[in-house]
Chains A and B, each alone.
Chain A
């Protein structure tokens, strides 16, 4: 169902919108190379290969944003756990996915439904899944829309007709429980998608699939994907190591390298304590979990890696898919947040650490990370039993999967930090020796406030390379949606209570807000249709992080529905 706002209900507005809205057209992979300079479209999950979550569009700007209002809305079916996807836009058509991998194509100017696609899923399997049935996004290329499913498939849908082109099963989800929730990434003629993993005992592969035919081209196991990596898992623990790559990464065309972040090993918590090299359920550093890896998109070969947290014993994976390509002083850098609350800066040519800076204030799983080498300093390996002080940050991380934004205009990186800790008791669990349909956690825990105040969220505006802070905004609860910077000197932040904020990107001054009535847990984008700029954001609450909010903050989260959602699209008043 689509509703147009009053200023488009007039005949003139309708005619103009209809006339100027181009029909869906094929997106050639080469278009993705310049997506960062394209104000009209939003072609990849992160906006472009540079992952800036930035649109150069400037019709809506700091001077007129006060006139922003809802242009149209769309309500998806079966919005179980709300909406968690970041929409895409191409040639005046908006595409987005909802739970159960349902995909919608809408006229970007009017919201008119062009087509919808409802894959038939294995519902019995879905009922067994913890990290389900949400979907976090799509990819566009070769005239197709690509979407992964929680029952282990990658599907290509014709952009124009909404008809399936191919449907390829990549994971035996019936056996392994996990499938795909993250967005695919299109690179040349290959579509890349990473499976879930982490606390699920398997080997978390990333796949390369021929975008035209659906044939699998390659598969890279994030757990023991090479002989070198297998040697970092004691005994047979590599068989059930977890891993995965559940958010879309980025692509560096200059080096033909796909950058991907990998998930944590299983079990999450390790009773071996400081003796983790030799004992416990997964002795060793556990490559390539909680790592950043560089892959050749053509054959899936590993080019380089950096394990951000060797033997991750805290569930602070590197699966956050945000990789910002920043050029600074002749250096070509890649900026990547780790769930533990540190930001890593790499050399794009080889993955070598160039700097590490701390975003999240309350961290005690390590004393620090060497900014020159990336080596952990003073790691806190939990022993069996109850920890004497809370672990910081909490399992939900110092950052979550939702992306920050970078504005080439202000040269500032805007990023949400989560400030919370947790009481934890590490428990020796039964060894799990085969991949199977079961979580493998290894602890009892409870989220609590950090030592310096209440549990809360914060938006920082910082230099992406040095971490130097320019300004900050505090929130009662962490915003859980990806954010958006624009050429209009604006920063849009959809928050957890349901309010979308627009700030002056230079100063952090709030210029506009709108209450969508339900929490945001997805991604916000900007695009053009019919020569007019729009801002689109899905609202709809419910995820494994947002589910923590009721216990920590009570209302409105205790009463907030987790089975509904809507896409809200904003434009300036006529």
Chain B
């Protein structure tokens, strides 16, 4: 998938919303069809901070503001393409691949969250 360079937070949020609607929610769609209605699906599917705290914060500490098991993400100089590729495909032995878990919209929402982090210089 082509991914534009996204530095502007407002643009990121809009794109995340658009992608989320277009791609649907991987998180809520993996259960058995018709098993139960997805609860709170729409607002949280593109909630980067919430998804980060559910999954990513286990390794990227203080919500990505500090180094932990994984690197600090606040102020990262990595490109959008790199970050999206890393979320999608992981790094063997270090980071799982989330491409089959998150929708493209969710991945972009996480990218937006990472870009929103203030670098406190720690």
Contact = CB atoms under 8 A, between A and B. Distances in A.
A124 B46 CA distance: 26
Contact of A429 (B30, B38, B53): B53
B101 A438 contact: yes
B31 A434 contact: yes
Contacts of B51: 430
Contact of B100 (A128, A130, A444): A128
A544 interface: yes
A560 interface: no
Interface in B82-97: 89-90, 92-94, 96-97
Contacts of B30: 434, 436-437
B54 A423 contact: no
A129 interface: yes
A441 B54 contact: yes
A440 interface: yes
Given A423-B62, A431-B39, A433-B31, A130 B96 contact: yes
Interface string B39-55: 11100110101111111
Contact of A431 (B35, B40, B58, B69): B40
B32 interface: yes
A38 B50 CA distance: 53
**Secondary structure call for the A interface:** loop
B36 interface: yes
A442 interface: yes
A438 B30 CA distance: 11
Contacts of B41: 430
Contacts of B52: 444
Interface stretch (A51-59, A283-291, A304-312, A547-555): A547-555
Find the residue from A80, A423, A429, A442 having the highest chain B CB count within 10 A: A429
B116 interface: no
A409 to B, nearest CB: 39
Interface residues of A, number: 41
Given A434-B35, A563-B93, A548 B69 contact: yes
Contact of A444 (B32, B45, B62): B62
Given A428-B50, A436-B27, A562 B93 contact: yes
Contacts, number: 112
Nearest to B52: A444
A129 B35 CA distance: 26
Given A128-B96, A128-B101, A427-B50, A433 B57 contact: no
A517 to B, nearest CB: 19
A428 B52 CA distance: 11
B113 to A, nearest CB: 11
B102 to A, nearest CB: 8
23 contacts: A80-B92, A81-B93, A127-B97, A132-B96, A133-B93, A429-B53, A430-B27, A430-B41, A430-B45, A433-B39, A434-B35, A436-B30, A436-B31, A441-B57, A442-B54, A444-B57, A444-B61, A446-B62, A446-B68, A544-B69, A548-B68, A551-B66, A562-B94
List the 10 closest pairs (A to B, CB-CB), nearest first.
Answer: A434-B31, A547-B69, A444-B63, A427-B53, A446-B62, A80-B93, A430-B44, A551-B67, A446-B61, A429-B54
